[in-house]
Amino acid sequence: MIAHDYDRLLNPADGVKPLDFGAEGTTGSLDPNGRVVALNTYHPQHGYVTLTTADPFDETRHYTQTAVRAYRAELAALRGFGPHFGQPVLQRQAILLDGVLPQVRLTLGGGETVEVTTWAQDGGAVQIWEHPGLAPHWRGRLSLQRCAYTQLTEGGPIPMPPLKTRVSLANGVLTIENPALEWAAAIAGFAPDDAWEMAADGPLALDVPGLSDTTVLTWGVGPDGASARAAALRLASEDPYRLLEQTRAVWHARRSDGVGDDLAWRGLAYGWMMGVPVGETLCILTDHMLLPLAWNRDAYYVARALLGWRDEANDFVRRHLLWLFETAERVDGAWGRCYLANGRVKDRAYQLDQQLYPVLELAEYAQETGDWRTWERLRPQVGQVFDALLARRAGDRWLFSTEETPADDPMPMPYHLSSHILLWRVLRRMALIEPDGAWAGMAAAVRDEVQRSFIAPRNGTPIYAYATDGGRRHHFYHDANDVPLALAPAWGFVSAEDPVWLATVEFAFSPANEGGHYARRLGSVHTPAPWPLGDIQELIIAQLQGDEGRARRAQARLAAAAQWDGALPEATAPDSARVVSRHWFAWPNALLACVARGVLMRP
């Protein structure tokens, strides 16, 4: 028997958000009572679909940021579909088994104890509810929807399929269908002596009688009701306790090989959950609830955190590289801003760094695993990427324009600093693999161009500008999303004692950084508030400078910003740890896992 010594009791004072579970592209979240607020799965046409208790987003308000933010906040406060016992809940206790699988224990008004354990399994999910002496009713509003894809900087909404909900109960199996989606979900494990059907143009409020003492619910999905029911019943035919122990054994082994810090562990575990199989390939989502889309930038840091962790993680990265180069669409040779899980471009805006991270991921993967077969398979496309990139070169100068910042915002000037540092990094990696090529010379030329074009005096002190027009105009700013600047000394672009770099990061963490500085922390104009990504940048800078006090302060800010399950949001309030934006966001925890594993601090 495995000793489950990684179980973690959660503290509600750290900020309650829905608890997450997932495996092999199936993801979900639970409310504080253990009820399911969403079960999300891959869809070959729509990318990602959700069985959810959420109301649909108002499609007329995609360009209204206040509406988008409000909807996202509502998703974090949803109440789920689950048992109601007719008594108040006096006490809740949440545990992450082996640091990842959610288990919720409730103490009811009559002194009874209820316990539920939930995990993803074989394309669906399993819940074991222990409720001795109680026969609850299962209630909640459910519908099947395509995920809303609510963005603050909308690049063009994809029309939402009609919300048609058809629900039936027969032989203890609840089936929910949306014929407009050509998708269905089924939940097996209810009392078998009731049967009915309902339909509506919207969510349906359900009330389903349950069994006494113990209820095992198995959740299945498929393109129609029959296939979803078959999937749920296949899971129901298995011993749930055996399945749970097998799942725990897998996660226990992963945790024993992982990092000790709970926030960094969240980066590995949640990043793993965000891997969505697409045939032979695998997409990495930025999160499963708010924006189940793929950004090359975000996915790189998840992949970088996982690479070298375990053999199975290396294969995870290999499959993601195949998705990037062989599944994801490229328009005129360029990757778009973001993607549906099926590889379809969601937003076509051109971002320079999004062209570079896939090549860096491939080069690091090949060098660190020795899988040169995958390198040779994808190497011709690397040439195509650079052909498309060089076509955007500014004449005979080594400047490359970008339409947007790494925060998906419009550029104040065409040339962006941290993307050019990243370009230098990619060229240097290519030179290590192909030393007889032109890569080393190109890298030197890019570095010389950065020194010539981006350094400018601010109040008499030379610093790196955030952006330039390539002439005499410079934009002074630094953003929590621009990680390559913080990593520049670790990569060897400059030394940690370089006066220009030192002056730049001093400016970045000062009130002079208008739009990027909040209460002595680094943030972004994208969401005007402190960002954990900024705190991690400060941690990187502190480590490079050997400033242990500053590193401890950055770690304390991260601990305060983390929610009870270790999830780092996009942004918090300047004067508290209250989440301002995005309760779910894979990138910050993944970046922290990279720092904890030391994989970014290599020349």
Alpha-carbon distance of 422 to 219, in angstroms, equals 43
A 10 A CB-CB count for 568 gives 31
Asked if 303 and 595 count as a contact pair (C-beta separation under 8 A), the reply is no
What does the pLDDT read at residue 153?
95
Alpha-carbon distance of 486 to 490, in angstroms, equals 8
State both tokens at 19.
Answer: 């608890």
What does the pLDDT read at residue 5?
83
A 10 A CB-CB count for 138 gives 22
Alpha-carbon distance of 525 to 528, in angstroms, equals 5
Alpha-carbon distance of 352 to 540, in angstroms, equals 23
pTM assigned to the model: 0.97
A 10 A CB-CB count for 555 gives 18
50 to each of 31, 142, 177, 183, how far by Cα in Å? 16, 10, 11, 10
What does the pLDDT read at residue 126?
98
What does the pLDDT read at residue 1?
44
pLDDT averaged over 10-residue windows placed end to end, the chain, 603 residues: 78 96 98 98 98 96 96 96 95 97 97 97 98 94 97 95 97 97 97 94 95 95 98 98 97 93 97 98 98 98 98 98 98 96 97 98 98 98 96 97 97 98 98 97 98 98 98 97 98 98 98 96 97 98 98 97 98 92 98 97 87
* Nearest by Cα to 99 from 19, 45, 34, 155: 19
Domains and CATH numbers, the chain: 8-252 (2.70.98), 258-597 (1.50.10.10)
A 10 A CB-CB count for 333 gives 15
Alpha-carbon distance of 54 to 50, in angstroms, equals 9
The phi-psi region of residue 115 (left if phi > 0; otherwise alpha if psi is between -120 and 50; otherwise beta) is beta
Q: Which residue blocks in 274-371 are alpha helix, DSSP H?
A: 296-306, 311-322, 352-369
Alpha-carbon distance of 589 to 598, in angstroms, equals 14
